[in-house]
Amino acid sequence: MAKSFTNQRMIINTVVAWGIGLLIFFPILWTILTSFKTEAQAINDPPLFLGFDWTLENYSIVQERSDYMRFLMNSVIIAGGSTLLGIVIAIPAAWSMAFVPSRRTKDILLWMLSTKMLPAVGVLYPIYLLFIKFGLLDTRLGLVIVMMLINLPIIVWMLYTYFREIPVEILEAARMDGASLREELIYVLTPMAIPGIASTVLLNFILAWNEAFWTLNLTAAKAAPLTAFIASYSSPEGLFYAKLSAASTMAIAPILILGWFSQKQLVRGLTFGAVK
């Protein structure tokens, strides 16, 4: 009796949850499906779900016509470079605050967070101007720097919350064992914090990859990443659904995969440790 009741509830839960899950996921699924259609099939009336001739031609067209690989490289360099640079700057800072806290630590942390809340549009022109002045406009270097700066508070915060879980005694043991500060960071703290550092890298890579205000406003042709590449489809000519879908699929696929690995860390990173 009780067992069949739970079974019944399991079935209802499963059906409802899967239904809603698929509904939410549907736009992504539809985009992936459409990327394998011809342009004519893509706008077929009625819409074709699975009964179409699967083709890969859109992918090759996208690459040929718009040099997709270049945008992809820009995205990888901007997201990867800014994340790595941020990590290198953030590890010492997070070490300081987690293991040698002072009365000002909390204020510094909150202040760092507050820089993240600065609306980008409020400082758009100054940054634009500075970029022109220093020749950074439409360069990868410029975007690496900006992306590093906007994500640095999150990186410091995430590392800080991970570091705080490491008992300070272990670092003290290293100190007693004759390790210098540098050796303490390299041989003890960093390897122990690898899982935390990895999730921080992952989340920030995703955030930088998807950032679409600075990338749209500070790049033109040379340094434009995938966000800008996709935006160029907003005023296209001719039939383009299948190509848009192929381009979109290529732009989101890597991140979808990375994102699945980082679900848990996402919460901690985006709520600054306030929800765990």
Binders of another protein among residues 220 to 239 (CB under 8 A) are 226-228, 230-231, 233-234
**C-alpha closest to that of 153 among 104, 118, 113, 123:** 113
For 173-204, give the secondary structure using H, E and C.
HHHHCCCCHHHHHHHHHHHHCHHHHHHHHHHH
Task: Tell the smallest beta-carbon distance from residue 272 to another protein (Å).
Answer: 5
The rounded distance, in Å, linking the Cα atoms of 109 and 90 is 12
Task: Tell the smallest beta-carbon distance from residue 84 to another protein (Å).
Answer: 15
Q: Which residue in the set 130, 138, 139, 141 belongs to the binding site for another protein (CB under 8 A)? A: 130
Task: Return the range that interacts with another protein (CB under 8 A); candidates 55-63, 66-74, 133-141, 267-275.
Answer: 267-275
Count residues near another protein (CB under 8 A).
115
Task: Tell the smallest beta-carbon distance from residue 273 to another protein (Å).
Answer: 7
Q: Which residue in the set 134, 165, 216, 222 belongs to the binding site for another protein (CB under 8 A)? A: 216
Q: Does 10 bind another protein (CB under 8 A)?
A: yes
Q: Does 183 bind another protein (CB under 8 A)?
A: yes
Q: Which two tokens stand for residue 2?
A: 């009780």
The site map against another protein for 86-105 (x = CB under 8 A) is ---xx-xx-xxx-xxxx---
Write out the binding residues for another protein, residues 47-86 only, by CB under 8 A. 47
The rounded distance, in Å, linking the Cα atoms of 196 and 268 is 11
Q: Does 202 bind another protein (CB under 8 A)?
A: no
The rounded distance, in Å, linking the Cα atoms of 177 and 205 is 36
Task: Return the range that interacts with another protein (CB under 8 A); candidates 50-58, 64-72, 121-129, 135-143.
Answer: 121-129
Report which residue type is found at 215: T
Q: Does 113 bind another protein (CB under 8 A)?
A: yes
4 or 6: CB nearest another protein: 6
Q: Which two tokens stand for residue 199?
A: 């999730």
Q: Does 38 bind another protein (CB under 8 A)?
A: no
Write out the binding residues for another protein, residues 163-182 only, by CB under 8 A. 167-170, 172-181
The rounded distance, in Å, linking the Cα atoms of 215 and 45 is 36
Task: Tell the smallest beta-carbon distance from residue 222 to another protein (Å).
Answer: 18
Task: Return the range that interacts with another protein (CB under 8 A); candidates 53-61, 64-72, 133-141, 251-259.
Answer: 251-259
Distance of CA 26 to the CA centre of its chain: 21
End-to-end Cα separation, the chain, in angstroms: 37
Return the DSSP state at 244.
Answer: H
Q: Which two tokens stand for residue 185?
A: 């960071």
Question: Is there a contact between 233 and 249 (Cβ–Cβ < 8 Å)?
Answer: no
